[in-house]
Amino acid sequence: MYRALVGIGMLCGLLIVFVFAGTRPVIEANRAAALERAVFAVLPEATARLTFALTPAGGFAPAADAAGERIHAGFDQAGSLVGVAIEARGMGYADTISLLYGYAPERDAIVGMQVLTSKETPGLGNKIETDPGFLANFDALDVRLDDSGTSLLNPIETVKKGKKTEPWQIDGITGATVSSKAIGNILAASSSRWVPLITQRRADLDAGDIDEGS
Amino acid sequence: MKDLDTTPPTPTDEFIKGLWRENPVFVQVLGMCPVLAVTNSAVNAVAMGLATTFVMLMSNIFVSSLRHFIPKQVRIATYILIIATFVTIVDYAIEAISLDLHKALGAFISLIVVNCLILGRAEAFASKHGVGYAALDGLGMGVGFTLALLCLGGVREILGNGSLFGVALFPAGFEPWVVMILPGGGFFTLAAWLLLINHLKRRRESAAAGMQEALR
Amino acid sequence: MNEESLWSIFVNAALVNNFVLAYFLGICPFLGVSAKMATATRMGGAVVFVMLVSSVCAYAIHHLLVAIGAEFLQLIAFIVVIASTVQLVEMFIKKMSPALFRALGIFLPLITTNCAILGLALFQTNKGYDFGQAIVYALGAGIGFTLALVLMAGIREKLEFATVPDVVQGTAIALIVAGILSLTFMGFAGLGA
pLDDT tens digit sequence for B79-135 = 888 999 999 999 999 999 988 888 888 778 888 888 878 888 888 888 788 888 888
Range of the domain at A162: 40-206
The predicted model scores a pTM of 0.80
CA-CA-CA-CA torsion sign (B119, B123, B127, B132): negative
CB atoms within 10 A of CB A193: 15
Chain A interface test: which of C1, C3, C126, C183 (most A C-beta within 10 Å)? C3
Q: Is residue B111 one of the residues assigned to a domain?
A: yes
Rounded to an integer, what distance in angstroms lies between the CA atom of residue C159 and that of residue C156?
5
> If you write DSSP's letter for every residue of B64-91 in order, what string do you get?
HHTTTTS-GGGHHHHHHHHHHHHHHHHH
| C110 touches B: beta carbon within 8 Å | no
Strand A141-142 to A109-117 pairing: antiparallel
CA distance B183 to B195: 19
Domain count, chain C: 1
- For residue B15, what are the CA distances in angstroms to B11, B45, B54, B64? 6, 21, 15, 16
Dist CA A194 CA B138 (whole Å) = 54
CB contact under 8 A, A16 and C4: no
Residue ranges of B 114-133 with Cβ closer than 8 A to chain C? 114-116, 119
Q: Could you give the CA distance from residue B214 to residue B216 in angstroms, rounded to a whole number?
A: 6
How would you class B188 by CB atoms within 10 Å of its CB: exposed for 0-12, middle for 13-18, buried for 19 or more?
buried
Cβ-based contacts of C122 with chain B (< 8 Å): 107, 110-111
Is residue A83 within 8 Å of A46, Cβ to Cβ? yes
Instruction: For residues A212 and C127, give the distance between their C-alpha atoms in angstroms, rounded to a whole number.
Output: 33
Predicted confidence at residue A89, as pLDDT, reads 86
Specify if A83 maps to a domain.
yes
Query: Do the Cβ atoms of A15 and B89 come closer than 8 Å?
Result: yes
* ipTM > 0.85 for the complex: no
Residue A7 lies in a domain: no
- Within a domain: residue C193? no
* Inter-residue contact A71 to A202 (CB < 8 Å): no
Question: Which among C17, C72, C190 has CB closest to A17?
Answer: C72
Asked if residue A156 is part of any domain, the answer here is yes
Per-residue pLDDT of chain B (216 residues; tens, 9 = 90+): 444 445 566 777 666 676 666 666 666 666 667 677 778 888 888 999 999 999 999 999 999 988 888 877 777 778 888 999 999 999 999 999 988 888 888 778 888 888 878 888 888 888 788 888 888 888 888 898 898 889 888 998 888 888 888 777 787 777 878 888 888 888 898 888 888 888 888 888 888 888 888 887
* Residue C47 included in any domain: yes
Domain that holds residue C132: 6-185
Q: Is residue C63 part of a domain?
A: yes
| Number of domains making up chain B | 1
Q: How far apart are the first and last CA of chain B?
A: 15
Residue C192 lies in a domain: no
Is residue A102 one of the residues assigned to a domain? yes
pLDDT at C148 over 50: yes
Strands A169-171 and A157-159: parallel
Label residue A187 exposed, middle or buried (CB < 10 Å: 0-12, 13-18, 19+): buried
Whether A57 maps to a domain, the answer reads yes
Interface of C with B in 114-133 (CB under 8 A): 114-115, 118-119, 122-123, 126
Give Dmax (Cα) for chain A: 75
Split into its structural domains, chain A has a count of 1
